[in-house]
Structure 1
């Protein structure tokens, strides 16, 4: 579940860094102006490189402050809804621990959006509609901060931030034409699939559908094929049709692009790459921002990237903080809903993905067991969602119902930092135990630390 370098950021912005050394100033300025809406200020760029201004990405990275970037992929002019964002990823760069988290957010998640001049007005729609608000006549009275060139990006930042609890420093919106053209300019990319991918309902470019098929294993893809794998939503294989599977494929493809772009052959293709991207990327990043991200992350090891996704239960996936029901779009609309409508549990989870390395260094054996009979299967959801974080998690088991969550410490205090972290997340005080007292449930481990969920945590999960 980990990959090297902030994959999407690196893949899309590394190109800009490369061309600064290979192309003319005029060509670079054309690119930056097209994608950011601002000309390069050479003196300002030099000043920023020497001593970044407070609040900029370069300043934050230099001073150990987290940076949040919103990445958006949209259909573009080849689609009947060009501004709907099919791909949404929240990236956090944490220079203090030299790690990055990438959180994929499904496009069908329903959110109440406050994007109008009257901030008390709430527009309920799928999260992928936030970016299009300034560009189509879908709601009236859009607030001024969500209008203009960067209005869609700032609207998406506001809405995604409501879900994740994050404040975004910058956004990048990529038309899928850029995605396809970039892969073709690189001569294709190599991607591996864990299973076959068969989708008979893949959208064509004439408001219809056509079948696509890819075999399991590693294969070389051109731009159109890479786009098909990234966008497919209706594969007959359960592992590929889930939001989790789709998020994983998208992240794998962006990682493949990054790897190809950083090769010697990739460097030689800088002019073609620049041309393929120029008209299909919108961002409020400066050139200094782009360079700072690349310089910080270019040598980051694979183990420093944590990839997670917000998902609902589906065949071949446990799901985590979302479910399938009608939360505002009507009974006949496919939609995903947060189990906690206040998003508090999602905020807590995302802020906890980058666990303190000192906690992980204890390598404490942890098991999460299910005593929350008001939310069956919650122990499996929690185990799955924390699997990518580095905690040493055992398979969960059932437990007789408890009113209050318990943390059972069989280690005699051997893992104090992990115990403290679990106590903070689950809201329970660790109690010392022996292998026989209190009596363990069937299959429960009697070493390390065991979290036994209670009904109180089940209520918290749904915002009560």
Structure 2
């Protein structure tokens, strides 16, 4: 039959689907996809482990990052030890860390006390050369307490069993001995500690985007340790307002060649206030990404026995402390201070002026009752005689609301109908400013301090002034 053409036998549709092979390039594309997916999962798992491990290395009792975020962002606050008695004490120490020579000697020692009800904060810096009894060890410079406690634990427990947990426990032991030593010389109970290594301090400031600090005196230090720790470099900064990144802030805090340990302690306090102000202004606790960025960058560089919920409470309390309610003190050898220089067998030390620590203990106990030191210059803007200006200055010196240092200046360039107060205190002495404003029935002009200004307030007496 020639009418019909021969045709191939058709394969059933279902069978065709089963046996049809996929093109090679498609199979390869799917393999690449699954390999990439596996790699991504491994990377994410590794990062998650790193994040969890990092935050647990900061807190003495260990904590996961997820718990950290829950505690800081949405968690409840916790009553801090000392809060009910209206005095929370924290020992803050700073050191170079293992990459530095003498890295476990605490170069910075500061007792921070907070009065939550009064919304005040005091910082008392203890010089590292102070000769002090270290519990269960020989009398030594106070900066050796941490390394003594740390090394004793490490040598007894970690030489045969080296682990990150053992190393962390050794750091906790060092902090505990530091706390006990400071408790003995100050007479205070100190339930909390924060220990920061140099690179951790730098990372905190960078994570906050830098801090703004007013530099009182220019620094030119040609003997600042270089990064290789074998040579010296030059660090210089001019007087005036500066925005400091972490590296510059660390140099500003550490430099002492052209100043002194006491000046350095005062600069460290100023930086601590700046960090507090910046943290409060950025409200970092509301941002989980910022929290993780800060805490993960600090792994191995910061140690504390605060829990996350206690940190949240601390931040909330500190936010309420106004800059005008900060008290900054440095134990020093100044004529009105409590320490003296000593040379014992060729080694330089500092010792209590009274021979024991009772005066220091009283000073620390009464820190919130001390008056602020305020520098004032008074000038005439109302054609007053020099004798009349001197009389006004003498009267202000008798004012018991603060410890006033008063000088008199040349007549103001213009005659003023009303007394004017030029406020250079940057808000740190707002309560004093209000008293002066009321005392002289004055207007207040807020000014930015420059290197040539050495006073907190410049008062120009106007025609409205009355001695009565």
Into which bin does the TM-score normalised by the smaller protein fall?
Answer: 0.5 to 0.7
Residue 165 of structure 1 is matched in structure 2 by 187
Give 1:50 deviation, angstroms. 6.5
Q: Does 1:258 align with 2:273?
A: no
Cα gap change, 1:183 to 1:246, in 2 (>3 Å): same
Cα gap change, 1:111 to 1:265, in 2 (>3 Å): closer
Residue 407 of structure 1 is matched in structure 2 by none
Residue 60 of structure 2 is matched in structure 1 by 37
Give 1:186 deviation, angstroms. 3.2
1:133 to 133, 148, 158: 148
CA distance in 2, matches of 1:307, 1:125: 26
CA distance in 2, matches of 1:244, 1:189: 22
Residue 351 of structure 2 is matched in structure 1 by 337
CA distance in 1, matches of 2:176, 2:283: 36
Name the SS of the counterpart of 1:172 in structure 2. Answer: strand
Give 1:178 deviation, angstroms. 0.5
Name the SS of the counterpart of 2:108 in structure 1. Answer: strand
CA distance in 1, matches of 2:354, 2:153: 27
Q: Does 1 or 2 have the higher relative contact order (CA < 8 Å, sep 6+)?
A: 1
Aligned ranges 1:64-463 → 2 under 5 Å: 64-116=85-137, 123-136=138-151, 148-204=170-226, 205-235=228-258, 241-264=259-282, 269-313=290-334, 318=335, 320-326=337-343, 328=344, 330-331=345-346, 333-355=347-369, 391-393=401-403
Cα gap change, 1:191 to 1:98, in 2 (>3 Å): closer
Q: Is the 8 A contact 2:204 2:294 kept in 1?
A: yes
CA distance in 2, matches of 1:311, 1:128: 15
Name the SS of the counterpart of 1:166 in structure 2. Answer: coil
Cα gap change, 1:185 to 1:147, in 2 (>3 Å): closer
CA distance in 1, matches of 2:56, 2:154: 29
Residue 436 of structure 1 is matched in structure 2 by none
Q: Which digits, 9 at most, give the CA deviation of each residue in 1:338-392, with x for residues without a partner?
A: 1123200000111111119xxx89xxxxxxxxxxxxxxxxxxxxxxxxx9xx953
CA distance in 2, matches of 1:320, 1:234: 22
CA distance in 2, matches of 1:310, 1:161: 15
Question: TM-score with structure 2 length normalisation?
Answer: 0.60
Q: Which structure 2 residue ranges, 5 or more long, are not aligned?
A: 1-46, 158-167, 373-396, 407-468
Question: TM-score with structure 1 length normalisation?
Answer: 0.60
CA distance in 1, matches of 2:87, 2:339: 26
CA distance in 1, matches of 2:279, 2:146: 28
Q: Which digits, 9 at most, give the CA deviation of each residue in 1:162-184, with x for residues without a partner?
A: 22111111111001111112223
CA distance in 1, matches of 2:76, 2:247: 41
Q: Give RMSD over aligned pairs.
A: 3.6
CA distance in 1, matches of 2:330, 2:249: 20
Give 1:269 deviation, angstroms. 4.0
Q: Is the 8 A contact 1:133 1:139 kept in 2?
A: no
Name the SS of the counterpart of 1:73 in structure 2. Answer: strand
CA distance in 1, matches of 2:153, 2:62: 32
Q: Is the 8 A contact 2:119 2:320 kept in 1?
A: no
Give 1:221 deviation, angstroms. 2.2
CA distance in 1, matches of 2:124, 2:182: 11
Q: Which digits, 9 at most, give the CA deviation of each residue in 1:282-312, with x for residues without a partner?
A: 1111112211111222122122221111011
Cα gap change, 1:269 to 1:198, in 2 (>3 Å): same
Q: Is the 8 A contact 1:72 1:174 kept in 2?
A: yes
With 72-81 and 217-226 compared, the bigger mean Cα shift is at 217-226
Q: Is the 8 A contact 2:94 2:108 kept in 1?
A: yes
Name the SS of the counterpart of 1:198 in structure 2. Answer: strand
Cα gap change, 1:25 to 1:92, in 2 (>3 Å): farther
Give 1:263 deviation, angstroms. 4.0
Residue 405 of structure 1 is matched in structure 2 by none
Q: Is the 8 A contact 2:129 2:350 kept in 1?
A: yes
Instruction: Count how many residue pairs are aligned between Structure 1 and Structure 2.
Output: 316
CA distance in 1, matches of 2:231, 2:116: 46
Give 1:141 deviation, angstroms. 9.0
Q: Is the 8 A contact 1:199 1:212 kept in 2?
A: yes
Cα gap change, 1:337 to 1:391, in 2 (>3 Å): farther
Give 1:251 deviation, angstroms. 1.6
Name the SS of the counterpart of 1:212 in structure 2. Answer: strand
Task: Report which of the two structures shows the higher radius of gyration computed on alpha carbons.
Answer: 2
